[in-house]
Chains A and B, each alone.
Chain A
Amino acid sequence: MIKVNNLAKAFGTKRAVDGVSFSVERGEVLGFLGPNGAGKSTTMRMITGFIPPTEGTVTVGGFDIVENPIQAKRLIGYLPENAPAYTDMTVYGFLNFTAEIRGLRGDARKKAVNRAVEMCFLESVLHQSVETLSKGYRHRTCFAQSIIHDPDVLVLDEPTDGLDPNQKHEVRGLIRRMGEKKAIIFSTHILEEVDAACSRAIIIDRGKIVANGTPSQLRQKSEWAGAVTLRVSGINAVALNQKLTQLSTVKRTSILKEDATSVTARVFPRVEVNGSLASSIADAAKGWRIEELHTEEGRLDEVFRSITMPDTPEAAK
C-alpha cells in the first residue's frame, strides 16, 4: 500500500531524511523508531503530502503523493504529532467537519462519526469544546479524526504520546486490531509498543534507516541475544569466572553481583547456539549449586541504544 523510494528531505544544508526506502503492505503494522530529531516526523509528513520531498517518491495505493495528491490523500488517515485540532469547535463539530471534508454526507457521515466516537471512547466529551479537553481526550479526538473515513492507510505520529497507561494499552490494542486490514505506520520512542503492536519495525537515525525487521529479528541483533544469566551459590566470583571461561561455548563472562551467599553472572556465547550454552554450564556445575539460570532473548532497548548511539562501547566493538 505504501511504497517509499529513496526519500530525502533537505532543510538548508541539513539532510533531515536521507535516502529512506521501505514499503508497507495491507495487514502490516510498521513501527517507526528513532531518537528525537532522527527524521521520523519529517518522513511521515512527506508520506502524507504535507511537505514535498527533496528527492525520491512516495506512492500510496499506487498514487504518487506529488503527482496525484488528492487520490493518495483520500486513502490516508493521519494523526500528526501533538494531535492538533480546532480548539474553537466541539468534538462533535470537529469530527463532523473532518467527515464532511472527506466527502462523507448525510447518513454515511453520521455513521462514520458515531463509529469513530465509539472506537475512541469520546461519548462523554462529545459536546465539549476541544479547548477544554485534557491532553488524552484531545489526542483521542485527533485519532478519531484519522480513522473517520475508515482509511486503508494509517499514518500515526506518536499515537500514544501523552496518554495514561490504560489509554496507551487501549490505543495499542486498537492499532493491532486495525492493522489486520490496513497498512499502518506509527512512530514511537516507547520500545515496548513495538512488541505490543508491530509486525515489523524500522529504526531510523540521522535520516537513515539503520535497522529493519520483525521485533524478534531486531532483538537478535542484541549482543545479549543467547546470553545466559545465572545465579549460583557455593563458589566465589573469581573461581566461577575461571571455571566458566574454560568452557568451549563461552566467549566471556561478566559478574553482575556478588554477595555473601550467591554470585550472579552473565555469560555470553561464543557461537550463536542458544540451548547448548545453558546445558554446558549446567554440566559444568560441580561443587556449586545453580539457583537460577535463563537464556536472554535480547533486548530491544539495548539494540536501539547500540545502533543509534555510535559512541557507546557496545557499538565501538
Chain B
Amino acid sequence: MNAWSNIKTITKRELAAYFSSPLAYVFIVIFLLLCGFFTFMVGGFFERGEASLVRPFFDWHPWFYLFLVPAVGMRLWAEERRVGTLELLLTMPITAWQAIVGKFLASWLFLALALALTFPVWITVNVLGSPDNGVIFCGYVGSWLMAGAYLAISCITSAMTRTQVVSFIISVVVCLFFILAGFPPVINLLENWAKPGLVDLIASFSVITHFEAFQKGVLDSRDVIFFLSLIGFSLFTTSVILRTHRAG
C-alpha cells in the first residue's frame, strides 16, 4: 500500500516534468504528424479500400518508436545523475525499485496519451467503413506494450550515462536490433546461411514478430509475456546499474 503511494508520488512528479517543458507537446505533435502522414500518404490508406488499420497504421509503429521512445526515455536517469537529484531521490525513504517503477510508469503513461491522441485515425476508418474494432483495439494494446519494451530499454541506457544524447544513441541501436531481428529482409538474409531453428530463435527476440500477432487481432499470452518480461528484465537491469554506480 505504502509502496504504491510512493510510486504514485514519483509518477505524478515525472508526468508533471514532461509537461512543464514544451518538449512533451513537440513530441506529441511530431508523433501525430508522422502517424497521419505515413497512414494516409505513404501507407496508402485510401488506395487499399479496406476498413482496417493493420497495414497502413500499425505497421509503422515499430519504426516511429525507434526514434521517439528513446527521446522520451533518455532523460529519466541521465538527467537525475547530471543534476545530482539522484542523491536526493535515493536518500528518501523509498526503495530504488519504487523510483524505477514510478519513473517508468510516468513515461509509459505519457506514451499512452500520445497513442490515444491518434483516435482521429480510428474515427476516420469507422466513418468510411465498418472495421473490426476488436482487432484495432488489440493493435493499440500491442503498440503500447511494444512502446513499453522500448522504453524499458531506454531506461537502461539512461541509467548508464549522465549524457542524454549518449543514452539516446545507444538505445536507438539496441532497439534497432530488436526490430531487425524479425524484419523480413533480414530474416531472408539469415535463412541463406543459418539453420532454420537458429533463425526462428533470433526472430523470436524481435518486437516485430510479437507485434504482428497483435496487429492480426490475436491476443496471445506468449506475446504479452514477451513484452512484459522484456520490460521486467530491463527494469531489473536498470536497478543493477544504479546499484553498481552507487557502490563505486
Residues of A within 8 A of B (CB): 9-12, 45, 48-52, 69-71, 73-74, 76, 78, 80-82, 84-89, 93, 97-98, 100-103, 129, 142, 145
A-facing residues in B1-60 (Cβ within 8 Å): 2, 5-6, 9-10, 13, 16-17, 20-21
Look across to chain A and name the residue whose beta carbon is closest to the beta carbon of B92.
A101
Contacts of A86 in B (CB 8 A): 13, 17, 83, 85
Q: B127 in the interface, Cβ–Cβ < 8 Å?
A: no
Least CB distance, B18 to chain A, in whole angstroms? 9
Least CB distance, B240 to chain A, in whole angstroms? 14
Q: CB within 8 A of B87: which of A10, A69, A84?
A: A84
Known: A52-B247, A70-B93, A101-B94. A88 touches B88 (CB 8 A): no
State the majority secondary structure of interface residues on B. Answer: helix
**Are B13 and A78 in touch, CB under 8 angstroms?**
no
Known: A76-B91, A84-B87. A51 touches B9 (CB 8 A): no
Selected A-B contacts with CB under 8 Å, 17 pairs: A49-B91, A50-B246, A51-B246, A51-B248, A52-B246, A73-B92, A76-B91, A80-B84, A81-B84, A84-B83, A84-B85, A87-B83, A88-B20, A89-B17, A98-B92, A103-B5, A103-B93
Known: A89-B16, A97-B13. A73 touches B85 (CB 8 A): no
Least CB distance, A293 to chain B, in whole angstroms? 52
Besides the known contacts A52-B246, A85-B85, 13 further A-B residue pairs in the complex with CB atoms under 8 A apart? A50-B87, A50-B91, A52-B247, A69-B95, A70-B95, A74-B93, A78-B91, A81-B84, A84-B83, A98-B88, A98-B92, A100-B9, A101-B92
Contacts of B93 in A (CB 8 A): 70-71, 73-74, 101-103
Contacts of B247 in A (CB 8 A): 51-52
Most A Cβ at <10 Å: residue of B16, B20, B92, B247 = B92
Most B Cβ at <10 Å: residue of A84, A93, A101 = A101
B: interface residue count bin: 20 to 34
* Complex Cα gap A103–B93 (Å): 9
Q: B116 in the interface, Cβ–Cβ < 8 Å?
A: no
Q: Which 5 pairs between the two chains have the least Cβ-Cβ distance?
A: A84-B84, A73-B93, A74-B93, A48-B91, A80-B87
Least CB distance, A223 to chain B, in whole angstroms? 39
Least CB distance, B99 to chain A, in whole angstroms? 10
Known: A70-B95, A85-B85. A101 touches B10 (CB 8 A): yes
* Complex Cα gap A95–B144 (Å): 33
Residues of B within 8 A of A (CB): 2, 5-6, 9-10, 13, 16-17, 20-21, 83-85, 87-88, 90-95, 246-248
* Complex Cα gap A226–B83 (Å): 48
Known: A9-B248, A70-B94, A88-B17. A101 touches B9 (CB 8 A): yes
Contacts of A69 in B (CB 8 A): 95
* Complex Cα gap A69–B95 (Å): 8
Contacts of B87 in A (CB 8 A): 45, 50, 80, 84
Look across to chain A and name the residue whose beta carbon is closest to the beta carbon of B246.
A51
* Complex Cα gap A85–B247 (Å): 23
Q: CB within 8 A of A93: which of B16, B21, B83?
A: B16
Contacts of A84 in B (CB 8 A): 83-85, 87-88
* Complex Cα gap A256–B2 (Å): 67
* Complex Cα gap A136–B94 (Å): 28
Contacts of B9 in A (CB 8 A): 97, 100-101
Least CB distance, A25 to chain B, in whole angstroms? 22
* Complex Cα gap A86–B15 (Å): 13
Most B Cβ at <10 Å: residue of A51, A71, A87, A89 = A51
**Are B6 and A101 in touch, CB under 8 angstroms?**
yes
Least CB distance, B165 to chain A, in whole angstroms? 18
Q: CB within 8 A of A89: which of B20, B88, B92?
A: B20
Contacts of B92 in A (CB 8 A): 73, 98, 101-102
Look across to chain B and name the residue whose beta carbon is closest to the beta carbon of A48.
B91
* Complex Cα gap A50–B248 (Å): 11
Contacts of B90 in A (CB 8 A): 49-50
* Complex Cα gap A50–B80 (Å): 14
Most A Cβ at <10 Å: residue of B10, B21, B91, B93 = B91
